Structure 1
Amino acid sequence: MDSAASEKSIIALDGWLQTPPGAYVRAWEQARLDELTADIFGFNAVQIGLPQIDALAANRMPRKWLADTRPRPLRMADGSELRQVAVTLDYAELPFASQSLDLVVLPHVLEFAAEPHQVLREVERVLRPEGQLIICGFNPASLWGLRQVTARITGNHFLPRDGEFISMLRLKDWLKLLNLGATQSHFGCYAPACRTEKWLQRYAFMDKVGSRSWPYLGAVYMVQAVKRVKGMHLIGPAWTKKTATAPAGVPATNKRREQQDG
């Protein structure tokens, strides 16, 4: 997927998130993110993409930013407000200093990024030792994933058609290669691929049944990981030691020069 196709896919996702199933996904992800981020401590946190949810709402770090590939309107089509994008960036070239962030959240970024591996490499670079990463994604091993596969034949897509959905096992392999150890994982949204709120409500019981009976088949998942640095041992909570400098933007040209000189 090239950068132009990636941007087109992200725009398609924006529209889909305003549909009833999109609202269903946003509600589940907001609730889980509030739970996961509430007790992550530090000083600097960044949410990359998906301004339709506030991934850092429950987090108490003093400096939190929303970053995206472009500025966004202040409101969605349904009238609900969007947060202002503080940093515009390229997913594959993050404008933050190395080891400057305590938390990065990637909601549905990897599956619509032109270079998902490069995005993860950049996240690993900007995270401090023991810094944390949370990733949200669509689960290909679900009823929604099956619908997406059959849509290649029928043309009747339920999810944005150009997304390259990544299984959780595959994602964990990618993280392991970068010394990002997965610590928690969650699945949610077990209702079938329904387009209307009426039918989603009728299948609401499947969220409770699914989490008990077929827990790995939810339509979306969330993975939390920690950056491990070999040979390094932290004494006490990492967030009690404030570094001398806050994260600063690093122009891509300077970053490449540092890598060549390094």
Structure 2
Amino acid sequence: MLKPALRDKRTAAPANWQDVAHGTWLQSQVEQVLAPHIERLYGYHFAAVGPLSAHLSLPKSAIKHCFTLAEGHGKHVNVCAESTQLPFAEASLDAILLACELEFAQDPHQVLREVSHSLIADGKLIYVGFNPFAWHQVQQLWPRQVNQLPWRGRSFTRARVLDWLALLNFEVCETHYFAPSFLQQRWQWPERLATKAHQWLPQLASCYFIVARKREYPLTLLPERSKRKRVQPNLQTVPLANQTQLKE
């Protein structure tokens, strides 16, 4: 039975990628995977939500106004706010990036609802999440690793996140697993094993990403056209000159 996504207590999120195990390498993998998708974005406003999203070095896109949002202050943060209470008007953003934000949010459902509220119709969401079935999850067997990052957060399966997005009328454009690793730089032989096994078992990679488009359907019902056409008699009047009169 699945545990509810809502938590009783809040989990401290990482302030940057260096707080995560093997974070520098993991950050480079995320940047490499997201680069072609960021370049294809278009519109007017693009928000990178979360501290990990704010510290990503992403290529320039066609969207001119790109900014970062996180709860804490810092040189990489342009807007200080919580992901569960985005300070944007409805349908005001063209694209949103969420990098490992649901894992540390107290209410992941509320985060996605805020994202759906802020995106315009056909706006894009790019989400990156930690895989709960990854190779690095074996480190949870050590008690000292439980309180470390990323094991301190709660990872959600890709299928579960896809279900949440489907309920919010998101259409999935692309999704893949990437970055196979035990997140231990010292384990050279297991790291090589995870890399070679990725082509046969991609579901054991450390992360996955989802590119989804927000869809909206009109609520105004169009009147149904009547299939039956009114039959109108095609009456033609006969000129008086052509009329024949009976003679007595």
Give the TM-score category using the shorter length.
0.7 to 0.9
**Shift of residue 70, structure 1, vs aligned partner:** 1.4
Which residue matches 1:172? 162
Q: Does 1:220 align with 2:203?
A: no
Q: Does 1:16 align with 2:19?
A: yes
Which residue matches 1:46? 47
2:14 aligned counterpart, secondary structure: helix
In terms of fraction of residues, the more helix-rich structure is: 1
Alpha carbons 2:182, 2:190 under 8 Å: kept: no
Which residue matches 1:258? none
Alpha carbons 1:24, 1:189 under 8 Å: kept: no
Provide Cα deviations, 1:192-220, integer angstroms capped at 9, x if missing partner. Answer: 24144xx459835743x344211121111
1:64 aligned counterpart, secondary structure: strand
Which residue matches 1:59? 61
Alpha carbons 1:98, 1:125 under 8 Å: kept: yes
Q: Percent identity?
A: 26
1:95 aligned counterpart, secondary structure: coil
Q: Which has the larger radius of gyration?
A: 2
5+ residue gaps, structure 1, are: 75-83, 233-262
Which residue matches 1:183? 173
Classify 1:41/1:203 alpha carbon distance in 2 versus 1 (closer, same or farther; 3 Å).
same
2:211 aligned counterpart, secondary structure: strand
Name the amino acid aligned to 1:46: A
1:146 aligned counterpart, secondary structure: helix
- Give the whole-Å Cα distance in 2 for the aligned partners of 1:194 and 1:186: 22
- Give the whole-Å Cα distance in 2 for the aligned partners of 1:160 and 1:71: 22
TM-score (norm. length: structure 2): 0.77
Q: CA RMSD in A?
A: 2.3
Summarize the alignment of residues 120-199 of structure 1 with structure 2, pairs less than 5 Å apart: 120-148=112-140, 150-151=141-142, 154-157=143-146, 159-196=149-186, 199=187
Classify 1:191/1:94 alpha carbon distance in 2 versus 1 (closer, same or farther; 3 Å).
same
Aligned length: 210
Which residue matches 2:30? 29
Classify 1:16/1:228 alpha carbon distance in 2 versus 1 (closer, same or farther; 3 Å).
same
Name the amino acid aligned to 1:203: E
**Shift of residue 44, structure 1, vs aligned partner:** 0.8
Name the amino acid aligned to 1:63: H
TM-score (norm. length: structure 1): 0.73
Alpha carbons 1:139, 1:167 under 8 Å: kept: yes
- Give the whole-Å Cα distance in 1 for the aligned partners of 2:204 and 2:14: 24
Summarize the alignment of residues 59-78 of structure 1 with structure 2, pairs less than 5 Å apart: 59-72=61-74, 74=75
- Give the whole-Å Cα distance in 2 for the aligned partners of 1:106 and 1:29: 12
Alpha carbons 1:34, 1:59 under 8 Å: kept: no
Provide Cα deviations, 1:1-21, integer angstroms capped at 9, x if missing partner. Answer: 457x33x2334x65523x5x1
Higher relative contact order (CA closer than 8 Å, sequence separation 6+)? 1
Provide Cα deviations, 1:21-60, integer angstroms capped at 9, x if missing partner. Answer: 11111011001111111111111100011122134x3322
1:155 aligned counterpart, secondary structure: helix
